[in-house]
Chains A and B, each alone.
Chain A
Amino acid sequence: MLERPIAGALALAAVLCPSAALAATPEDIARGYAEQAKQAASQFSGFSGARGKAFFESRHGGEWSCASCHTVNPVDPGRHAKTGKPIAPLAPAGDAERFTRLDKVEKWFRRNCSDVLDRACTAQEKGDILAYLMALSQGARR
């Protein structure tokens, strides 16, 4: 029972500490989620881009999916579904600044999972999405 709060506190410290938040790579951030997912479920068997893609495009019973704003080709720019404001591409292949700051990544997962799923995303879900987005390349569009 004691290990969970400590892990949570460490994760929180990583989010709050600017030096940890700056200059990360998408791989660093995915590794962090893998650590958290292992803590949450001992049978954790890695992330799946295919699962991430399905999750990304599902409305999860609500009004929006991730793709509603980020499109089904996240290498391309998106548009806010409500305000129409342009959104830079979400996949690192479309915008090299994506997934390079943990504090920013966590802020947007917090907000957007709340909007799309009405709950927080698990580390497994975040890692699956990251695996999907990191595998996309500029040329490969469906």
Chain B
Amino acid sequence: MNARRRSTVQLRSRVAKAVAFAAVAGILLSPGAIAGGHKLAAATNAAWKSECGSCHVAYPPGLLPAASWRAIMAGLDRHFGNDATIDAATGAAIEAFLVANAGRDRSKPPTAEPILRITETRGFRHEHDDVAPATFESPAVKSAANCGACHLNADSGRFSEREIRIPPSQP
């Protein structure tokens, strides 16, 4: 399947998902739920935005449960292989913001240790099950953690289906 054909199929699948989503959204949406990323833009915090956003997209707090954020903030000296240490006061303020706006733990069965990678959550996997591994690995994307490669307004916390452009896998 060539790249254009694949993206047409992906688009169709996305439209179908969007319709299905709209049909059930009224029933399933609860305040603060992840629910397809549509609610993620609401919570913001200046320290979170500037500190977490210096090296990567400031991942919205709703993408992980509170236990995950606590574990991440406790391990900033080895943050996915990098030193991301921060002064205690700023770190505590950011953690309070993340925990207050965290998502629900949807892992089934519940994981013994908190999930540290958003890409390993059920919510992420469900939303991206139609994206080919080659797309995530393409030079323009590099990794599934690079939200902004496809989600044009990820920096503003906006992840709606209308704001997605998947870069071609072959340049």
On whether A111 and B84 interact (CB within 8 A), knowing A83-B56, A85-B56, the answer reads yes
Task: Give every chain B residue within 8 A of A60 (Cβ-Cβ).
Answer: none
* Bound Cα distance from A107 to B86, whole angstroms: 7
* A residues 79-93 touching B (CB-CB < 8 Å): 80, 82-85
A95 proximal to B (CB < 8 A): no
B55 touches which of A85, A107, A110, A114 (Cβ 8 Å): A85
On whether A111 and B85 interact (CB within 8 A), knowing A80-B55, A85-B55, A85-B56, the answer reads yes
* Bound Cα distance from A34 to B25, whole angstroms: 61
A115 proximal to B (CB < 8 A): yes
- Chain A, residues 60-102, CB within 8 Å of chain B (1/0): the string is 0000000000000000000010111100000000000000000
- Chain B, residues 100-134, CB within 8 Å of chain A (1/0): the string is 00000000000000000000000000000000000
Task: Give every chain B residue within 8 A of A111 (Cβ-Cβ).
Answer: 82-85
Chain A residue with the shortest CB-CB distance to B86: A107
* Bound Cα distance from A84 to B145, whole angstroms: 10
Number of A positions contacting B (CB below 8 A): 11
* Bound Cα distance from A107 to B47, whole angstroms: 14
Task: Give every chain A residue within 8 A of B148 (Cβ-Cβ).
Answer: 85
Number of B positions contacting A (CB below 8 A): 18
The minimal Cβ–Cβ distance linking A106 to chain B, given in whole angstroms, is 10
B142 proximal to A (CB < 8 A): yes
The minimal Cβ–Cβ distance linking B87 to chain A, given in whole angstroms, is 8
Chain B residue with the shortest CB-CB distance to A69: B55
Structural contact, A83 and B83, CB atoms closer than 8 A = no
Structural contact, B142 and A84, CB atoms closer than 8 A = yes
B146 proximal to A (CB < 8 A): yes
* Bound Cα distance from A110 to B86, whole angstroms: 10
Structural contact, A83 and B146, CB atoms closer than 8 A = yes
Task: Give every chain B residue within 8 A of A115 (Cβ-Cβ).
Answer: 82-83
Q: Which of A111, A112, A114 has the largest count of B CB atoms less than 10 A from its CB?
A: A111
The minimal Cβ–Cβ distance linking A107 to chain B, given in whole angstroms, is 7
* Bound Cα distance from A85 to B143, whole angstroms: 12
* B residues 60-106 touching A (CB-CB < 8 Å): 80-87
The minimal Cβ–Cβ distance linking A13 to chain B, given in whole angstroms, is 14
Structural contact, B85 and A83, CB atoms closer than 8 A = no
Chain A residue with the shortest CB-CB distance to B141: A84
Not counting A83-B56, A112-B83, a sample of 13 additional A-B residue pairs whose C-beta atoms are within 8 angstroms of each other reads A80-B55, A82-B80, A82-B82, A83-B142, A83-B143, A84-B142, A85-B55, A85-B56, A107-B86, A110-B85, A111-B85, A114-B85, A115-B83
